[in-house]
Chains A and B, each alone.
Chain A
Amino acid sequence: MKVLIPSALRSYTEQAYAEAGGDTLAAVLAALDRSYPGIRFRMIDEQNRIRPHIRFFVDGEQVFDLARRLDGVQELVIVQALRGG
């Protein structure tokens, strides 16, 4: 599926969109990490928790569960909320 990468993570992909496949959100992120090593850890911590300022939207719906199945999903949008000054 098509994955929209937030600007803060484009140092990994060097483009706005990436392609990654998988049955679940976790699988897609794992596939993304195989193509762009290190990108997953910037979004998901070592306890498999989504980091506080990262949001995932699948076909427009926000998803909080990494185990969520993505059958038929066309697009994953990764959003990184800014904080601090």
Chain B
Amino acid sequence: MASEIDTGAAQRSPGTVLLLVATRKGAWLYHGDATRQHWWVEGPHFLGHIINHLVLDPRDGRTLLAAAKTGHLGPTVFRSTDLGRSWQEAARPPAFAPAPEGQGGRSVDHTFWLTPGHADQPGVWYAGTSPQGLFRSEDGGVSWAPFSPINDDPQYRKWMGTVQDGTPDGPKLHSIIVDPRDAEHLYFAMSGGGVHESGDGGRSFQALLGGIEVVEGFDGSDPTFHDPHCVRLCPTNPDRLYQQNHCGIYRLDRPSDTWQRIGRAMPAEVGDIGFPMVVHPRDANAVWVFPMDGTSVWPRTSPGGKPAVYGTRDGGESWQRLDAGLPAEQAWWTVKRQAMTADSADPVGLYFGTTSGELWMSGDEGRQWTRIAAHLPEIYAVEAAMGVEGAS
């Protein structure tokens, strides 16, 4: 049964939970009340634009950044400081440095990933692009510049590969993570190119590949062959990271630099391939994934047409299938790497958007699922925000 969508004007005040839904054809904002039973929708914003990521700045609770492009114009970033009531375009969107005369330089096709900077660095944002590049803004997303040496480093450029080496619409730099204890401690991931870590604020990065498997027949010591899909850091234990990779689900407990393949405990008939990875806001042993069919030609559908979230409460020692309320069969959608997230309520609310344009939620940490919306365009990203300025 679908949740009630209340579109009455009287209810149109900022909700307790704000879902930021980025799609192939624009963006929508879903406001949920304190019960998370009633939602009202605001949008579309940027109808017809490809929105890869829409993110709220948790440091001020009102600034939104949207990574946008269209099928035929260059990429840009839009910025709102009033929760989407008005938008301004970035004065200088992410763009690679001009190449020396006579050399073919790279141009950003699209900004794929946005990460707000450390709490102590208001105005700082990071962006990951396709082709793979890392960018930073120090003025709240108005102007962007290439960040760190990696964009033009010959070794990193080799690991990044070309457009033919990546995902169907281009290799992506994603999962930019800022350690909440230390603004100088950063992680990012590249599909393909592996996970990388910096302890000096991005002046240098080192690959973090130990224990990660690669496709059979390739050299696991070479970052080129690594394909992390999504990496998350646990907010209450920043020494613990989880990773959904092309080759399984992993956990890393620092200071170790060797990932453990916790997906081995997933049911064999489901496997441990997927794209999103969601961490619990308070329990570092609890994470959720959304497995997909990664067999044969990689259909990228729910295995067997039976979608399910899988969750663990013991750091990946065991997994539970969480599919109550989801279609029992003949549902061939899946969930992209940025399209599944959690709020910070108690119990935690989980949310995901599908490739078929449906928005689903669970108000009890995955035990029961309810559809909030259908008939949206293909959903690329879902972010949940609480504590929005002006919220009830």
Contacts and interface: CB of A to CB of B under 8 A. Distances in A.
Nearest to A83: B71
Contacts of A48: 98
Interface of A: 8-9, 37-38, 41-49, 51-54, 80-84
B321 interface: no
Contact of A8 (B73, B89, B95): B73
Interface pairs A-B: 6 shortest CB-CB: A45-B107, A84-B71, A46-B95, A53-B72, A42-B73, A47-B105
Contacts of B154: none
Contacts of A41: 74, 76, 93, 95
Contacts of B38: none
B356 to A, nearest CB: 15
B286 interface: no
Given A46-B96, A46-B98, A8 B72 contact: yes
Given A37-B91, A48-B98, A82-B71, A42 B76 contact: yes
Contacts of B105: 46-47
A68 to B, nearest CB: 19
* Interface majority SS (helix, strand, loop, mixed), chain A: loop
Interface in B83-111: 89-91, 93, 95-99, 104-108
Interface string B238-258: 000000000000000000000
Nearest to B94: A46
Contacts of B70: 8
B111 to A, nearest CB: 12
Nearest to A38: B89
A43 B75 CA distance: 10
A11 to B, nearest CB: 9
A65 B161 CA distance: 29
Nearest to B92: A41
11 contacts: A38-B91, A41-B76, A43-B74, A44-B74, A45-B107, A46-B96, A46-B97, A47-B98, A80-B72, A80-B73, A84-B72
A46 B76 CA distance: 12
Contacts of A52: 72
B102 to A, nearest CB: 12
Contact of A47 (B73, B90, B91, B107): B107
B74 A47 contact: no
Nearest to A40: B74
A40 to B, nearest CB: 9
A63 B136 CA distance: 35
B72 A45 contact: no
Nearest to B106: A47
Interface in B48-87: 70-74, 76
A45 B105 CA distance: 10
A46 B107 contact: yes
Contacts of A46: 95-98, 105, 107-108
Contacts of B95: 41, 45-46
A46 to B, nearest CB: 4
Given A41-B93, A47-B107, A82 B72 contact: yes
Contacts of B93: 38, 41
A52 B93 CA distance: 19
A35 to B, nearest CB: 14
Contacts of A83: 71-72
Nearest to B89: A38
Contacts of A80: 72-73
A54 B98 CA distance: 20
Nearest to B46: A11
A78 to B, nearest CB: 11
